[in-house]
Amino acid sequence: MPSIPVTHATGSYDVHVASGLIAEAAGRIAASLPGRRLALVTDPQIRAALTSNGHWPAIDATVIEVPPGERAKTRDEWGRVTDQLLALGLGRDSALVALGGGSIGDLTGFVAATYLRGVPFVQIPTTLLAMVDASVGGKVAIDTAAGKNLVGAFHPPALVIADPGMLATLPDRVYREGLAEAVKHGVVADREYFEWIAKNAAGLVRREPKLLTHLVQRSVEIKAGVVSRDEHEVGERAILNAGHTIGHALERLSSYTLPHGEGVAIGLVAECRIAEGMKLAEPGLADRVAGLLVELGLPVAVEPRPATRDLLTAMSTDKKNRGGRIRMALPAAIGRMTATSGEWTVEVGEQELPG
């Protein structure tokens, strides 16, 4: 089973993708981080589900539980987990293991980045969204009242272990969130991949194992390539934020009851329409993207539609903004992003926003 390497400023790490890999997690962690004392961060729902379906990894680690979903990504939880590590007497010879979805990975990675000025951590994603996107790239963060992921760090994992076999028992809504990020990868970087997803949409909805393994592998390859070229998001990496400016704003306006993948799906279609309206994208792009997302069981609009002023306020703290002006990563065509003079984001005025 070949691994997918991701390079960064201080070295590289491998992403392993294969069905059944969870059974090898303990051995792979020991080989990558020998002799480390481990603390494993998860939530009670994940722990119960993985125990009941036989996927709980036999890792010798102290288990620390946090709340499910975005409720884990707070300053309070960061402080509580950090205090538990200190109480356990874990030193710089320790490492953390994130077992769960994107929120668990973000929180655990941020704790790892700040604990004793940095200890290694391992990502074991349990959702499709985390496998295809959140576990790769080293961006870790917590949320604040001002917005998502505004307090964070770049702290690459030492290892990523992705087992698509774990996806068979995910709730439908949670599973489909990851399909939105996979479609995004096709839109921003690989037309053939987008078309492959469209051709195999029915099988992906049915979670056919071979299709799922290819989906995770190809999305990881795409993201790994972008991240390796631009680790700290000073240029091209911004394309991975397609759909996220509006998506994150909708999540914030919903008080984070809107799942991230659904926000990305809605945001991706809206930002494609903005690109068409600004004459940056080929006509019909938004409809084509929306058609595939609908076929995959994802929403492409939100009701009631938020007021433009509320949307602007929610987008005002987006990390891509400059000088108080909204900037977005906008598609030009399937597989190609708008880029001008080395800039991968475009200023978007209030008049360009959906009314």
* Residues with catalytic roles: 117, 139, 181, 223, 233, 237, 241, 244, 248, 260
Handedness of CA 75, 80, 83, 88 (dihedral sign): negative
Nearest Cα to 210, choosing from 36, 19, 7? 19
Residue 293 vs residues 70, 134, 178, 249, 280: alpha-carbon distances, Å: 23, 19, 11, 20, 22
Distant-in-sequence, close-in-space partners of 256: CB < 8 Å, separation ≥ 6: 69, 70, 143
CB neighbours of residue 68 within 10 Å: 16
CA gap 128, 138 in Å, rounded: 17
- Nearest CA to 344 out of 218, 196, 214, 234 is that of 234
Would you tell me how many other CB atoms lie within 10 Å of the CB of residue 70? 20
Cα pseudo-dihedral 346, 180, 108, 328, rounded to 10: 10
Beta strands in 121-234 (DSSP E): 121-125, 139-144, 147-154, 159-162
Q: Which two tokens stand for residue 295?
A: 């076929």
Q: How many of the other CB atoms lie within 10 Å of CB of 62?
A: 14
**Could you give the CA distance from residue 123 to residue 106 in angstroms, rounded to a whole number?**
10
CA atoms within 13 A on the CB side of 274: 28
Q: How far apart are CA 136 and CA 324, in angstroms?
A: 29
What the block records as the tokens of 203 is: 């099988």
